[in-house]
Structure 1
Amino acid sequence: GITELAKGKEETISQAFLLTDGENEHGDNDRCLKLAELAASYNLTLNALGFGDHWNQDIAEKIADIASGTLSYIEKPEDAVGEFSRLFDRIQLVGLTNAYLLLSLAPKVRLAELKPVAQVVPDTIELPVIEESGQFIVRLGDLMVDAPRVVLANLYIGQLAVGNTTVARLQIRYENPTNPGEDLFSDTIPVDAVVAPNVQPQPNDQVQQHVLALAKYRQTQIAETKLQSGDRTGAATMLQHAAKTALQMGDKNAATVLQSSATQLQAGQELSESDRKKTRIVSKTVLRSN
């Protein structure tokens, strides 16, 4: 199926929807992930939509993340139209395809060894990094018009001389869907640092919001890992931390879901499949108020 999709993607924006309402009982989850990697290599975007409560959110999320798509939870049939409309609205905004972030680092600058790059807008995704010829390459997939794509990179910087210095250079490689196969490049953007002997913190509110979004996601991931290992107390504690982080962001919907899950665990109750899926979704994005 992926090969057939690839055949028809000339001069088009190629997005596919993977719909599931249950576990993969007749196949291999690892093979599903390999197929997602194949889709990404064909520059296809896979969006995973889970219906009801009995599907594997871990595999669905990995499929969507690998192929630069979106994970959606459709709890009730009447929610389907709204979720499909949201996804189609996104697709209509796509202006550039097959985009990659190209990152070149200066001497004495390196990426963090563990999860160095993550997207936080429109959804939170840990992005894999490939190094080629001293340059780091991160797949972004399709880029939307007038809709920000925010990516955080964790850099370690050694001791530098006082003054202004360029610590990295960024560039975007992409394709125009009307002329596929031709690599286009943005201007190169320098990332400059001002090195001072006495540092006075100057926090940026917008950057802080993005850092909190990543923290909320990672705190929830740790909670789920603890829950799977049987550490209910540890899971509840991390969910409480995630709820507080969501409140710092002003994301009250996520805070409510995360705190509710934490409270249930503290009371000795099991989280339902619905609760787990809601927790996963709010960790990855900011829910819109109804």
Structure 2
Amino acid sequence: MSVNLTCKLSDRLLDSNQGSSQRQLAISVSANASVDGNNAPLNLCLVLDHSGSMGGQPLDTVKRAARDLVDRMHLQDRISVIGFDHKAHVVVENQLVDRTESIKEKIQSLKASGGTCIDDGIKLGLQETSKGKDGTVSQLFVLTDGENEHGDNERCLQFSRLATEYNMTLHSLGFGDSWNQDVLERIADAGGGAMAYIASPAAASEEFQKLLKRVQAIGLTNAHLVLQLAPYVRLAELKPIAQVSPDTIELPYQTEGNAIIVRLGDLMTDVERVVLFNLYISPASYIAENPASSTIPILTAQVRYDIPSLAQINSLSDPVTITAELVQDFTPQLDSQVQNHLLALAKYRQTQLAEQKLQQGDRAGAATMLQSAAKTALQMGDYNASTILQNNATRLQTGTALSESERKKTRIASKTVLQTPPNP
């Protein structure tokens, strides 16, 4: 098992006469499938809300989706289930998926009652998941249909960050329309996972299966990008790093000596993680010291990662060096793939601005930003997202408030590509 690492500048040409030039660098990272095609076993914990509001069809649907999930897991995988209302309890202790009927019976025993305390569910989920984490890919699916009325949202985020420190990934699933998308997005972002929206009971099984397929494709875990910037190259000061695939999120970074460290988390064999870096480069200063050079070094990139199937930690990929070409007669030569990644980030940020304006009561401003986001989505070939964003902009322009469902669809459309763009 190894890493696929590719790097592309938004434009490989630099005007040698410029004092400073801005470039975006897209780094794509994925796991290279193992020779035998087998990844490490999955260690999955389902953290399920069974508060009073889940009563009837919602809980019945979730239990059915969870049971179907168990049937799709492998015998060497591990499963645990946590139920929570205003407190959490273990429904299925961490164990191998070799007694499926017993596991499914325990899931079926869940009854709806009480309030909602998401953080207690996450805390107990981490404890149960930790029992089976050696040599496995540890993942938590946290599902809720409501506000964290009996809990503390900041505590949820603390537990989500703690999960990543112990090489566990946390995904959030919002069921229905009464959950808080701000909270569940922050939980998923902090936990290194994805946020899913289950708009109706009929969609529960599909969303569970999509997440299961994603985590079953994980080959490497605890991945970090390690970058060494060359002299005359610096990161932009404001929001310099963002992931744009498979989900869009502003990424924090740390420094270790002269290195910039960015945590990526899990690496999948079938989907790349794509990270954008906003760089400022000083060609004229470099040429002043290297007048005979026709290229300028930009950075060296490596990936540090764990291989759970081999119980190896802190493996390091071969370094990849990025350079740009210095030219006197500069004509832009934009890279179409990087431009598409930039559109994905623009769509996300435009939608964020729209939501901020909506919170401030500025419907006209929100509609304008949603229209911009819709046009951006159309440019990148994300037609489904474009339709959602434009329809919501139109509703605001006609004086109609957005429903909770429409707000949630907007958030999902901002973070993911709902339709695969055509090849450039």
Indicate whether the TM-score tops 0.5.
Answer: yes
Runs of 4+ in structure 1 deviating by more than 6 angstroms, as ranges, are: none
Structure with the higher fraction of residues in strand conformation = 2
**Structure 2 CA distance for aligned equivalents of residues 24 and 126 of structure 1:** 24
2:170 pairs with 1:46: yes
Give the stretch that moved more between structures: 237-246 or 106-115.
106-115
2:105 pairs with 1:4: no
> Equivalent of 2:331, from 186, 200, 204?
200
Alpha-carbon shift at residue 93 of structure 1 (Å): 0.9
TM-score (norm: length of structure 1): 0.96
SS at match of 1:280: helix
TM-score (norm: length of structure 2): 0.66
> Equivalent of 1:245, from 376, 387, 392?
376
Give the stretch that moved more between structures: 153-162 or 229-238.
153-162
Match of 1:100 in 2: 224
Match of 1:185 in 2: 316
Give the stretch that moved more between structures: 270-279 or 198-207.
198-207
Amino acid at match of 2:142: L
Q: Once the two structures are superposed, what CA deviation does each residue of 1:78-123 show, in whole Å capped at 9, x if it has no partner?
A: 1011111111111111111110111111112111112111111111
Match of 1:218 in 2: 349
Amino acid at match of 1:184: S
**Structure 2 CA distance for aligned equivalents of residues 287 and 56 of structure 1:** 21
2:282 pairs with 1:158: yes
**Structure 1 CA distance for aligned equivalents of residues 345 and 322 of structure 2:** 21
**Structure 2 CA distance for aligned equivalents of residues 243 and 259 of structure 1:** 5
Which consecutive unaligned segments of at least 5 residues does structure 2 have?
1-123, 288-292
Match of 1:66 in 2: 190
SS at match of 2:227: strand
**Structure 1 CA distance for aligned equivalents of residues 239 and 359 of structure 2:** 21
2:212 pairs with 1:88: yes
Amino acid at match of 1:239: L
Alpha-carbon shift at residue 259 of structure 1 (Å): 0.5
**Structure 1 CA distance for aligned equivalents of residues 222 and 415 of structure 2:** 22
Q: Once the two structures are superposed, what CA deviation does each residue of 1:31-71 show, in whole Å capped at 9, x if it has no partner?
A: 11111111111111111000000111011111111111001
Residue pair 2:295, 2:326 contacting (<8 A) in 1 also? yes
Cα root mean square deviation, aligned: 1.3
Match of 2:27 in 1: none
Amino acid at match of 1:229: Q
Amino acid at match of 1:116: P
Which consecutive unaligned segments of at least 5 residues does structure 1 have?
none
2:112 pairs with 1:112: no
2:297 pairs with 1:173: no
> Equivalent of 1:148, from 266, 272, 276?
272
Give the stretch that moved more between structures: 87-96 or 174-183.
174-183
Residue pair 2:253, 2:261 contacting (<8 A) in 1 also? yes
> Equivalent of 1:79, from 179, 183, 203?
203
Alpha-carbon shift at residue 181 of structure 1 (Å): 5.5
Match of 2:153 in 1: 29
**Structure 1 CA distance for aligned equivalents of residues 270 and 406 of structure 2:** 33
**Structure 1 CA distance for aligned equivalents of residues 191 and 324 of structure 2:** 33
SS at match of 1:32: helix
Amino acid at match of 2:358: L
**Structure 2 CA distance for aligned equivalents of residues 54 and 147 of structure 1:** 31
Identity %: 59
Amino acid at match of 1:208: Q
Alpha-carbon shift at residue 238 of structure 1 (Å): 0.5
SS at match of 2:213: helix
SS at match of 2:192: coil
Amino acid at match of 2:146: G
Amino acid at match of 1:249: M
SS at match of 1:178: helix
SS at match of 2:174: strand
**Structure 1 CA distance for aligned equivalents of residues 255 and 156 of structure 2:** 25
> Equivalent of 1:262, from 389, 393, 410?
393
Residue pair 2:140, 2:170 contacting (<8 A) in 1 also? yes
**Structure 2 CA distance for aligned equivalents of residues 288 and 197 of structure 1:** 41
Residue pair 2:381, 2:419 contacting (<8 A) in 1 also? no
Amino acid at match of 1:142: D
- Count of residue pairs the alignment pairs up: 289
> Equivalent of 1:276, from 407, 410, 420?
407
Residue pair 2:382, 2:419 contacting (<8 A) in 1 also? no
**Structure 1 CA distance for aligned equivalents of residues 270 and 161 of structure 2:** 28
**Structure 2 CA distance for aligned equivalents of residues 14 and 220 of structure 1:** 32
